[in-house]
């Protein structure tokens, strides 16, 4: 039931996406734009520029020995609210040609943190995604999948044209539905043959069975990961086993050290109670205001939408009530000569903070101030 360490054929990082800007990229591509060609030589790489991308100005592919190993995406201003970020991709083919140390050195030498990080005075790279890959000498159908637990989470199966199930996913495949991590399991030998990559994996073809297990860590999990930690192969191996052991016991006999799971970026925050993290608070408020303006453009009122869906706090109800006025000078005659006053909402009273909410805040500040004197 358990795997032995000798049955682990391979382990490494398999894919990286990092938010970063390429140094002097415009100068490098000057020859591409001025000699009627879309390629240029950069050290041992052939650079190929691709335009007309949906959300980016252009893409630069780095080819080495006829393999695309890197790619750089130049961000683009989509509209007044949305600008995509520059990012750099390291494909799995790069790890078949270079050591991880060489790849990390290349990134540190030619890339700098993108404008978003610089604006936040954060002089480091932010990882967008990274994958870990582990190959074992076992059959995927007859052994590996049979030792994975049947859980209630979403599974998705990808079918080749032959309608044979080749890739199994744990957790939702779509990034829209899942921004944390995804586990992939597939027959590596079949994958090599279908992609015509036999020359990159000659030793694998001597094996009877090889199953690939991959973990794709996505943006919600990678924002707090230090880029240089990707050099620590022992840490990464222990990290992968930590996540896999939740779903299968096959690695119980493989010696590993305990490591903490990656910390998630906390998005489940109540705006009413949020006081300690102003950065996240402002992010949610800005997004909320943007949606509110869009709702107004379609002749609807965002406040009315919230009220009709009972999305309002008790404090806000009291704040609105305190801002309702009945001026004596404003009145109208209704049918049957009944005199009635015109009730109005005083925005000045509400925005200036003459409300229940601010009274409570002032009282809290007063009593806390007395307590600590």
- Domain edge (last residue) among 220, 244, 268: 244
**Residue appearing with tokens 């009122």:** 301
- Residue 370 above 60 pLDDT? no
Confidence of residue 12 (pLDDT cuts 50, 70, 90): very high
Which of these ranges, 191-195, 229-233, 309-313, 344-348, has the smallest mean pLDDT? 344-348
What pLDDT score was predicted for residue 359?
Answer: 64
DSSP symbols for 7-25: GEEEEEEEEEEEEEEETTH
**Interval 183-197: pLDDT, tens:** 999 999 999 998 889
The Cα 131–Cα 221 span in angstroms is 12
In percent, the amount of the chain with pLDDT more than 90 equals 35
Same domain, yes or no, for 13 and 108?
yes
With residue 94 as reference, give the H or E element that holds it. Answer: helix 92-97
Same domain, yes or no, for 211 and 318?
no
For 372: left if phi > 0, alpha if psi spans -120 to 50, otherwise beta; the answer is alpha
Domain of residue 357 covers 313-371
**Interval 91-112: pLDDT, tens:** 999 999 999 999 999 999 999 8
What pLDDT score was predicted for residue 70?
Answer: 97
The answer to whether residue 282 is domain-embedded is: no
The answer to whether residue 175 is domain-embedded is: yes
CB 180 within 8 A of CB 221: yes
Query: pTM above 0.85?
Result: no
Mean pLDDT, range 346-373, rounded to an integer: 60
The answer to whether residue 251 is domain-embedded is: no
- Domain edge (last residue) among 244, 273, 291: 244
The answer to whether residue 70 is domain-embedded is: yes
The answer to whether residue 292 is domain-embedded is: no
Same domain, yes or no, for 235 and 349?
no
Confidence of residue 356 (pLDDT cuts 50, 70, 90): low
DSSP symbols for 277-315: -HHHHHHHHHHHHHHHHHHHHTT--HHHHHHHTT---HH
The answer to whether residue 269 is domain-embedded is: no
Q: What is the rounded average pLDDT for all residues in the chain?
A: 81
- Sign of the torsion angle spanned by Cα atoms 197, 199, 205, 211: negative
What pLDDT score was predicted for residue 234?
Answer: 93
**Interval 134-186: pLDDT, tens:** 999 999 988 998 888 875 555 666 655 555 548 888 888 877 778 889 999 99
Mention every residue, 6+ apart, whose C-beta is less than 8 A from residue 243. 181, 183, 215, 261
What pLDDT score was predicted for residue 162?
Answer: 55
Confidence of residue 333 (pLDDT cuts 50, 70, 90): low
Confidence of residue 373 (pLDDT cuts 50, 70, 90): very low
- Measured in residues, the chain has a length of 373
Same domain, yes or no, for 46 and 135?
yes
The answer to whether residue 10 is domain-embedded is: yes
Q: Based on the structure, what is the number of domains in the chain?
A: 2
- Residue 296 above 70 pLDDT? yes
What pLDDT score was predicted for residue 274?
Answer: 46
Confidence of residue 64 (pLDDT cuts 50, 70, 90): very high
Same domain, yes or no, for 144 and 38?
yes
- Domain edge (last residue) among 221, 244, 267: 244
What pLDDT score was predicted for residue 371?
Answer: 46
Which of these ranges, 70-84, 199-213, 280-294, has the smallest mean pLDDT? 280-294
The answer to whether residue 307 is domain-embedded is: no
Same domain, yes or no, for 23 and 120?
yes
Mean pLDDT, range 115-120, rounded to an integer: 69
What pLDDT score was predicted for residue 339?
Answer: 55
- 17-21, 223-227, 269-273, 325-329 — which one is most confidently predicted on average? 17-21
- 190-204, 279-293, 305-319 — which one is most confidently predicted on average? 190-204
- Residue 60 above 60 pLDDT? yes
What pLDDT score was predicted for residue 267?
Answer: 55
The Cα 175–Cα 216 span in angstroms is 11
**Of the candidates 317, 323, 367, the residue with the CA atom closest to the CA atom of residue 347:** 323
CB 137 within 8 A of CB 9: yes
Mean pLDDT, range 259-284, rounded to an integer: 64
Going by DSSP bridges, is the β-strand pair 8-22/39-42 parallel, antiparallel, or unpaired?
unpaired
Query: Rg of the Cα trace of the chain?
Result: 29
The Cα 135–Cα 144 span in angstroms is 11
Same domain, yes or no, for 234 and 329?
no
């Amino acid at each position: 039931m358990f795997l032995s360490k000798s049955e682990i054929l391979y382990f490494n990082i398999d894919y990286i996406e990092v938010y970063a800007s390429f140094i002097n990229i415009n100068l490098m591509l000057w020859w591409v734009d001025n000699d009627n060609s879309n390629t240029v030589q950069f050290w041992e790489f052939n650079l190929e520029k691709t335009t007309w991308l949906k959300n980016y100005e252009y893409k630069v592919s780095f080819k080495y020995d006829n393999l695309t190993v890197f790619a750089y995406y130049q961000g683009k201003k989509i509209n007044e609210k949305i600008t995509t970020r520059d990012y750099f991709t390291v494909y799995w083919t790069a790890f078949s040609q270079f050591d991880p140390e060489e790849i990390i050195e290349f990134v540190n030498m030619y890339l700098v943190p993108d404008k978003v990080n610089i604006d936040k005075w954060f002089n480091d790279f932010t990882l967008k995604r990274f994958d870990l890959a582990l190959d074992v000498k076992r059959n995927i159908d007859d052994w590996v999948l049979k030792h994975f637990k049947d859980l209630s989470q979403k599974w998705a199966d990808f079918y080749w044209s032959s309608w044979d199930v080749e890739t199994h996913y744990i957790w939702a495949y779509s990034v829209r539905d899942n921004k944390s991590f995804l586990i992939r399991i597939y027959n590596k030998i079949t994958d090599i043959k279908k992609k015509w990559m036999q020359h990159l994996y000659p030793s694998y073809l001597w094996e009877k069975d090889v199953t690939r297990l991959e973990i794709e860590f996505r943006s919600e999990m990678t924002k707090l990961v230090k880029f240089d930690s990707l050099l620590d192969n022992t840490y990464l191996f222990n990290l992968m086993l930590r996540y896999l052991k939740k779903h299968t016991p096959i690695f119980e006999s493989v010696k590993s050290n305990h490591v903490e799971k990656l910390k998630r970026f906390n998005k489940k925050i109540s705006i009413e109670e949020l006081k300690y993290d102003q950065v996240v608070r402002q992010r949610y408020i800005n997004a909320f205001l943007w949606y509110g303006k869009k709702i107004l453009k379609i002749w609807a009122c965002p406040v009315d939408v919230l009220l009709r869906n009972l999305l309002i706090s008790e404090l806000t109800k009291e704040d609105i009530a305190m801002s309702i006025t009945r001026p004596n000078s404003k009145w109208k005659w209704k049918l049957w000569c009944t005199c009635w006053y015109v009730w109005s909402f005083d925005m000045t009273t509400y925005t200036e903070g003459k409300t229940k909410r601010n009274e409570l805040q002032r009282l809290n500040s007063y009593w806390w101030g007395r307590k600590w004197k």
